[in-house]
Amino acid sequence: MTARVLVVDDILSNVKLLEAKLTAEYFEVITAFNGLECLAKMDEGAPDIVLLDVMMPGMDGFEVCRRIKSNPKTAHVPVVMVTALDQPSDRVAGLDAGADDFLTKPVDDAALFARVRSLVRLKMMTDELRMRESTGQGMGLIDPAETLIENNLQGRILVIEDRVESVAWFSSALTPTHEVSSADTFEEALVRVKGGDYDLIVVSLGMRGFDGLRLCSQLRSLPEGRHVPILVVVSDGDRRKLTQALEMGVNDYLTRPVDKNELVARVRTQLRKKRYADRLRHNVQLSLEMAITDQLTGLHNRRYMSRHLDTLLDNAKKNARPLAFVIMDIDYFKQVNDTYGHDIGDEVLKEFAARIAANTRGIDLACRYGGEEFVVAMPDTDMAFAFNIAERLRQSIETTPVKISRAPHQLNITISIGIAQAEGEGDDADKLLHRADQALYRAKRSGRNKVVTDAAQAA
């Protein structure tokens, strides 16, 4: 895996050393020698990761990190503090500033490369979500997710540890801010993750009863655990386990003996990242739904119907099953808009759509075709059954006034309906749409408030 790494240090020899090591591992390296230069390089084009010295003149690394993380354009870029400071309080200060990790000089090469690759891999997943979200924004479908800056974070945390005293210590350190539960066996851990909506999983790699690394691998393979951050606890100096954990997708780590403040800071960091990723995923899902959904009525839109109808036709031909297609139009709808206004017209459309949804089945595809026209594709449905459903809907509309928000507070409307049925091999979506539309036209021409079937089928 390659990545673009920004190395920031005010001492030239330190910069050159890190640059040489990273270049040898096929990373692309850019450099900066102070905080302002670092921020300028970030504005020019955000790197994949920043290796940031703490003790620099003018603006120290903590302040630089805070500025990177407070900028929505760069907040998602991982920052690793690389410094001679080695006290727990120093690590906590870095984490509080928004840093993703804290490596002490002289930096162990294996630890450096493992952490860089791990953080870059996690960032790439976020980048993919950000790119998809950006597409939704460009289409005007969604607003952007907030930045990583969020206070008062609370979460549901699962601690997986088979030492009772360790579980008690973690629970004491994390409550009452967080809701903490625990598991002490491999099977119980999997069951809890499958059934619980956790925000963070803490896994001890020093458990006596089973292999914590194997558990991490299993958790990542579960749909319920795929996006939950995992924080592992390793013994100080156990580089092999730590490297393996990072390679399999673990998000963060703590070394024993665990400092309480560092635990709290790392938990806060992971919860903040998860909240951000969850919002990105929600926005992506929302944009997908909005791209195929009519925003006024909540039914599928014409674009989705046009693409999905071909699939329904193919399935009908393949399985030799009937497919009915119904097209509906509100009679004299223009008069509703002209008399009461477009806002009342929208209320009528929404109510009509709700009644369509209430009179169709789960397998049916109901869509707003455009304006006051609606269509329903009905798999496994012959003409007679489709006619009965359409007639029931027509009668419901005719006999039950539509409620509106202004005087006269209800309107009597009627609808006209045309129905066509798929004709097997050689038929396609355009022909089916045309036949249903012709039937609708005959319903309109013959007085409206009628259900008319395709003439070819009726003959």
Taking Cα atoms as reference points, which of 42, 46, 51, 49 lies closest to residue 7? 51
Nearest-angstrom CA–CA distance, 449 and 417: 8
Three state DSSP letters for 315-372: HHHHHCCCEEEEEEEECCHHHHHHHHCHHHHHHHHHHHHHHHHHCCCCCCEEEEEECC
Say what the pLDDT of residue 143 is.
58
Q: What is the mean pLDDT of residues 111-120?
A: 91
Same domain, 98 and 186: no
Residue at a domain's end among 54, 86, 107: 107
First to last CA, the chain: 67
Same domain, 285 and 322: no
Beta carbons of 421 and 382 less than 8 angstroms apart: yes
Look over the chain and give the mean of its residue pLDDT values, rounded to a whole number: 90
Same domain, 235 and 213: yes
**Res. 456 pLDDT band, cuts 50 70 90:** very low
Taking Cα atoms as reference points, which of 294, 276, 372, 209 lies closest to residue 75? 276
Residue with the bigger pLDDT between 236 and 175: it is 175
Same domain, 81 and 204: no
User: Is residue 221 in some structural domain?
Assistant: yes
Nearest-angstrom CA–CA distance, 112 and 51: 10
**pLDDT per position as a tens digit, 258-284:** 999 999 999 999 999 999 888 888 877
User: Is residue 372 in some structural domain?
Assistant: yes
User: Is residue 426 in some structural domain?
Assistant: yes
Same domain, 179 and 280: yes
Same domain, 260 and 388: no
Say what the pLDDT of residue 146 is.
54
Residue with the bigger pLDDT between 301 and 46: it is 301
Answer whether residue 140 shows pLDDT above 70: no
Same domain, 59 and 158: no
Answer whether residue 142 shows pLDDT above 60: no
Q: What is the mean pLDDT of residues 365-383?
A: 93
CATH number of the domain to which 408 belongs: 3.30.70.270
* Strands of 415-421's sheet in order across: 365-370, 373-379, 323-330, 415-421, 451-453
**Res. 457 pLDDT band, cuts 50 70 90:** very low
Q: What is the mean pLDDT of residues 83-99?
A: 89
Same domain, 386 and 443: yes
Taking Cα atoms as reference points, which of 118, 238, 209, 212 lies closest to residue 159? 212
Considering the candidates 63, 372, 398, 423, report the single residue annotated as catalytic.
372
Say what the pLDDT of residue 144 is.
59
User: Is residue 357 in some structural domain?
Assistant: yes
**pLDDT per position as a tens digit, 50-60:** 999 999 999 99
Same domain, 152 and 281: yes
Domain ranges, residue 238: 145-289
User: Is residue 277 in some structural domain?
Assistant: yes
Beta carbons of 254 and 266 less than 8 angstroms apart: yes
Same domain, 180 and 327: no
Query: In sequence order, what DSSP letters do the residues of 407-453 get, joined into one string?
Result: TTSEE---EEEEEEE--STT--HHHHHHHHHHHHHHHHHTTSS-EEE
Angle separating helix axes 88-96 and 61-70, nearest 10 degrees: 30
Say what the pLDDT of residue 130 is.
74
**pLDDT per position as a tens digit, 207-255:** 988 999 999 999 999 999 999 999 999 998 888 999 999 988 899 999 9
If you search the block for the tokens 């399935």, which residue do you land on?
315
Answer whether residue 2 shows pLDDT above 70: yes
Q: Where are the alpha helices (DSSP H) in 177-259?
A: 186-195, 212-221, 239-247
Q: Which of 135-149, 191-205, 410-424 has the lowest mean pLDDT?
A: 135-149
Largest CA distance in the chain: 90
Same domain, 101 and 232: no
Active-site residue, 165 included: no
Answer whether residue 458 shows pLDDT above 70: no
Half-sphere exposure of 185 (CA within 13 A, CB side): 3
Query: What is the β-pairing status of strands 49-52 and 252-256?
Result: unpaired
**pLDDT per position as a tens digit, 307-354:** 888 888 988 888 888 999 999 999 999 999 999 999 999 999 999 999
Residue at a domain's end among 249, 268, 289: 289
Taking Cα atoms as reference points, which of 382, 375, 373, 350 lies closest to residue 360? 375
Say what the pLDDT of residue 459 is.
40
The type of residue at 414 is: T
Taking the C-alpha atoms of 360, 361, 362 and 367 in order, what is their torsion angle to the nearest 10 degrees?
-30
Beta carbons of 403 and 351 less than 8 angstroms apart: yes
Nearest-angstrom CA–CA distance, 331 and 414: 6
User: Is residue 129 in some structural domain?
Assistant: no
Beta carbons of 139 and 283 less than 8 angstroms apart: no
User: Is residue 122 in some structural domain?
Assistant: no
Say what the pLDDT of residue 132 is.
64
- For 253, the token pair is 């780590």
Answer whether residue 133 shows pLDDT above 90: no
In percent, the amount of the chain with pLDDT more than 70 equals 94
373: β partners: 329, 370
Model confidence pTM above 0.75: no
User: Is residue 242 in some structural domain?
Assistant: yes
- Number of helices (H), then strands (E), belonging to the chain: the values are 16, 17
Cis peptide before 408 (omega within 30 of 0): yes
CATH number of the domain to which 285 belongs: 3.40.50.2300
Taking Cα atoms as reference points, which of 112, 12, 97, 27 lies closest to residue 60? 97
Beta carbons of 251 and 122 less than 8 angstroms apart: yes
Taking Cα atoms as reference points, which of 83, 31, 88 lies closest to residue 61? 83
Taking Cα atoms as reference points, which of 231, 92, 257 lies closest to residue 166? 257
Nearest-angstrom CA–CA distance, 277 and 275: 6
The count of domains in the chain is 3
Nearest-angstrom CA–CA distance, 6 and 167: 39
Same domain, 98 and 230: no
If you search the block for the tokens 């900066």, which residue do you land on?
32
